Amino acid sequence: MARVKIDVPDKFLYTTHIPVRITDLNYGGHVGNDTILSLIHEARIQFLSHYGYGELNMEGVGLIMSDSAIEYKKEMYYGDILEVSMAITEFSRVGFDLVYRLNVERGQKTLCVAVGKTGMVCFDYKNRKMAHMPDAARKKFKHLAD
């Protein structure tokens, strides 16, 4: 069976820290797979806000997730502080990909616990259709990514 493989860039634009809450755990005593996508969503909101944007307004257009992928590397537990680093890649006329690396500190080691990717498409919520990526946002993010 083929496995998901996410290309992780060398350069990240933004890093945030998100604590694992008790409600993030599943019956196995670790963070559930569905919760990891929620943690990635939180990181994305913080990333966009850091650059003056939101999912409903990025230079006049909204954003909608077109796809997602997660590589699970190690378990995450209550009390872990996730260091989520983000990069923007794969620009198209209507969007881009965001790549996430989730690390934790355990003992004296930094461990990668997951890698994720979300495909983000610019979206006109009023007319319920895809929109072109605004030049100002493209230029800002491409400049930062170079």
pTM passes above 0.85: yes
The domain that contains 27 carries what CATH number? 3.10.129.10
pLDDT per position as a tens digit, 72-87? 999 999 999 999 999 9
| Nearest-5° Cα angle at 114, 111 to 119 | 145
**What CA–CA distance (Å, rounded) separates 3 from 23?**
28
Residue 60, in any domain of the structure: yes
Domain that holds residue 40: 14-145
Residue 112, in any domain of the structure: yes
Number of domains in the chain: 1
Residue 83, in any domain of the structure: yes
Token pair recorded at residue 106: 């355990």
pLDDT at 60: 97
Residue 46, in any domain of the structure: yes
Residue 5, in any domain of the structure: no
